[in-house]
Structure 1
Amino acid sequence: MPEPWLSADNIASHLGVTKDTVYSWIAEKGMPAHKVGRLWKFQSGEVDDWVRRDGAAADDAAEG
C-alpha cells in the first residue's frame, strides 16, 4: 500500500519541530518535499531517511 502524503503540519509534528523549521529545512538543507500546487507534501519514509543521513543536523554548534 502506498505511503500517504503528509502536510507541513503533519511532518512538523512527526519530527517534533515547528512548521517554520520545516520550511527552513526545505530551503536551506534540501529536505525532501514535493510541491503540489501551493502546498508542500511529504512522505514520512523519505523524510526519516533524510534525517538518518544527518540532513537535519545543525551546521553550527548548539548555543549554550
Structure 2
Amino acid sequence: MNEPEKWSSLEDIAEHLGVSKDTIRNWIKKDAIPNYRVGKQFKFKISEVDEWVESGESAEID
C-alpha cells in the first residue's frame, strides 16, 4: 500500500526548484505556486509543484 506523500517546507521547495526562499514567497503572494497554509507556515506537495512547473504555468509569472 502506498504511503501518503509527505509535506514539504518552503525551504525544501526552494531547494527542489533551485530558487531562493524569497522567490517562493513572492510566488505565494501572487497565488502562483500551489501551496497550503498550516498555521503560519506554508506547506507544499512536491508532486503538485512539479505538475505546476510541467504545465508551463510557472513561466507565466510576472
User: What's the TM-score bracket when you normalise by the shorter of the two chains?
Assistant: 0.7 to 0.9
Matched letter for residue 20 of structure 1: D
The residue matched to 2:5 in structure 1 has which SS? coil
Give the match's secondary structure for 2:42.
strand
- 2:33–2:52: 8 Å Cα contact kept in structure 1? yes
State the TM-score, normalized to the length of structure 1. 0.83
| Structure with greater proportional strand content | 2
Structure 1 stretches lacking a partner, 5+ long = none
Q: 1:45 aligns with which of 36, 47, 57?
A: 47
Question: In the TM superposition, what is the alpha-carbon distance from 1:17 to its structure 2 partner?
Answer: 0.3
State how many pairs are aligned: 60
The runs of at least 4 aligned residues of structure 1 exceeding 2 Å deviation read none
Q: 1:59 to 1:44 in 2, by over 3 A?
A: closer
Cα contact 2:32–2:58 (8 A) shared by 1: no
Contact 1:29-1:56 at 8 Å conserved across structures: no
Identity of aligned residues (%): 45
Measured in 1, the distance between the counterparts of 2:38 and 2:56 equals: 26
Output the amino acid matched with 1:51. V
CA RMSD of aligned residues (A): 1.5
| Superposition deviation, residue 28 in structure 1 | 1.8
